[in-house]
Structure 1
């Protein structure tokens, strides 16, 4: 069985009847890799869950998107809701990018920071640090697609056209979770730059911020955490522009 619970715990740990159950506090899309929060007890799950609900957590993702983005720092404020054309199929989500759209959405905000530009299979791509402020279904994938920079390898939101990469390039790199009297800060290496399947097609162009060491990554997290960064090319995406 190819599940997270099966790989790291007992084969029945995903069941409530297990003697050692795991409690999923959050989930990642099937094609997304990286940090995932699970608890070994109900009280621990409840404590962590409250931090997520109150937006006290900080989550940072590394994404490679199609095209060279036209900003250094951006805020995306597009509500996200179910795509009415897929309600009876694969349940895609949709961003409301115009006030004239009538779809039902929930508010969704994502902050983006450009880290590097380059080329993948001779096509322009950008490496972005993504910080979701809210936690809607498929939010990061939908927001990237809505601004015209679909995540590399995202088969679903490229209308099934981006099928040459061997994976979707979205990785949950860091989670900062305050619980009780401590702060859990978990960071994992990004798998892209140790992946020969990626490197043989990748060529760097310009590094805006170094980010591949733990210290450098923490520094860019500090940059994206700031309410506003002076002297950068900033872009706001919302329904009014």
Structure 2
């Protein structure tokens, strides 16, 4: 699923939260956050629409994979971006993802504690489970179970990456035997076409100020997840 370069109006429509320090936007699936070596559409190229009167566009405080949708945090100026970056680095930001996985765990909740390392030097961001890798912890809960159009078993999970390794949730789910639907690197997803990756950054909680409650933002479910989520019991509420 390739997403074209967002227009200014499309970017403004995707703002979920705005204050003096940060923005949270609803990232569309199918577009990288950074410009790649071959060019092409990327989210950063549309950030100028999100200045809201400031002299410079906002900057990324963290990353989401190209095919992952949902809550993406931007710092509105350099100091704010640095502060947010430290919160992410030290795992102070709570992130909850929704995923639809093939099959699914037998239990209703649990943890995945498997260290991760780069798969190989020529594979860039691709990761693998490796005893010598970096500690990586994910928590999961089953929110629903069901079957796809062909009768295949599916599960709807809430995933919380306690650590923030590259592709962590995708590798962990695949290593447990229930890869995320549409994952064309670690699972059984196609290189092109349907289904696209069923991973969505549903909620983010940012403790931005010591004197105020954390900022909690929820991203609506994108269209490409809705059919399989409904098959697993999602009622269609935003």
User: What TM-score do the two structures reach when normalised by structure 2?
Assistant: 0.72
Check if 1:5 corresponds to 2:44: yes
Higher relative contact order (CA 8 A, sep 6+): 1
Partner in structure 1 of residue 62 of structure 2 = 26
The one of 174, 190, 215 equivalent to 2:221 is 190
**Structure with larger Rg:** 1
| CA distance in 1: counterparts of 2:101 and 2:181, whole angstroms | 5
Deviation at 1:118, TM superposition (A): 1.2
Q: Does the CA-based 8 Å contact 1:32-1:170 persist in structure 2?
A: yes
Q: Residue 106 of structure 1 corresponds to which residue in structure 2?
A: 134
Give distance in 2, aligned partners of 1:64 and 1:79: 23
2:231 partner SS: strand
- The aligned length equals 194
RMSD: 2.7
Judging changes above 3 Å, is the alpha-carbon distance between structure 1 residues 211 and 74 closer, same or farther for their aligned structure 2 residues? Answer: farther
Provide the residue aligned with 1:95 in structure 2.
129
Alpha-carbon shift at residue 68 of structure 1 (Å): 3.2
Is this contact kept in 2: 1:62–1:190, CA < 8 A?
Answer: no
2:83 to 36, 47, 67: 47
Task: Determine the structure 2 residue equivalent to 1:217.
Answer: none
1:4-153 correspondence runs (5 A)? 4-10=43-49, 19-84=55-120, 87-96=121-130, 104-122=132-150, 123-153=152-182
How has the CA–CA distance of structure 1 residues 112 and 124 changed in structure 2, closer, same or farther, with 3 Å as cutoff? same
* 1:6 shift after superposition: 3.2
CA distance in 1, matches of 2:229, 2:85: 38
Displacement of 1:35 in angstroms is: 0.3
Runs of 5+ unmatched residues, structure 1:
215-241
SS at match of 1:44: helix
Structure 2: state its 5+ residue gaps.
Answer: 6-40
After superposition, what is the alpha-carbon deviation per residue over 1:152-186, rounded to whole angstroms, capped at 9, x for unaligned?
00001126657663310000010000012332111
TM-score, length-normalised on structure 1?
0.71
How far, CA to CA, are the matches of 2:236 and 2:134 in structure 1?
A: 34
